Homo-oligomer: A and B are copies of this chain.
Amino acid sequence: MTQVPTAAGERAPRLSRERIVAAAVEMLESGGVDAVTTRTIGEALQVHPTALYRYFRDMDELIREAADHILEGLAEETPLAAGHDALDVLFDLCLGLRTALMSHPGAAGGVASGPSRMPHERALTERMLQLLTLTGLSDDDVVLAYHAVIEYTVGSAAIDAPGKSTDPDEDSRHRAWRADYLTASPHDFPVTVRLASRLYPTQDTQFRYGLQVLIDGLRNKLPAP
């Protein structure tokens, strides 16, 4: 782990990809992606703001690496238990993914687009495709179902997470939002006003419902058992 000096004049580097990523992950958790800048990282690691450019091509590469680090172990932590079928495991896996993304506001943006180049992201993709294959879905369905589930999970996290860092607690925020809806014109928005008191259950409840519906929809496509 630690660098062994092979010659007299060699100084051990103060920095490393690992140290920088660790700092980035920490700041991702406390202040979200906007809090991780070249300056804040420099301060946290007691180096010059531009020092990280020796280890990363640019800020984007660092964010993607930090985002991937957050997914560590996720694919492995959800084994196939008795009584749980593959789609139930997929459900839990998505819950875990959401939890990881929600606790690091903005991390969803680092996972978001493109293929899974990063190691933990790749493991997650593999695990999801594997679970979906186990259900008996056709290959085409497996691939499309994978995309549907990952886009819903990551996409909703990208939407929901930002509010968590700046705003007060979720309950009071939602109360305020419901009150906002109640003041809407009953003539122009009759349904909205009628349902206002039910709007904005906790974000977690919302997410689980949508994920359950999505997975129930996939069950419709399953061959008869």
Name A's B-contacting residues (CB within 8 A): 108, 112-115, 117, 122, 125-126, 129-130, 133, 139-140, 142-145, 147-149, 151-152, 154-160, 162-163, 177, 180-181, 184, 188-192, 195, 198-201, 205-207, 209-210, 212-218, 220-221
Contact = CB atoms under 8 A, between A and B. Distances in A.
Contacts of A145: 209, 213
Contact of A114 (B177, B215, B221): B177
Contacts of A114: 163, 177
Contacts of A130: 191
A192 B155 contact: no
Main secondary structure of the interface of A (DSSP, over half): helix
29 contacts: A112-B159, A113-B163, A114-B177, A115-B177, A115-B181, A122-B189, A122-B192, A126-B189, A126-B190, A130-B191, A133-B191, A139-B198, A142-B195, A143-B199, A144-B201, A144-B209, A144-B210, A147-B206, A147-B210, A148-B214, A155-B157, A158-B158, A158-B159, A212-B217, A213-B218, A213-B221, A214-B217, A217-B217, A217-B220
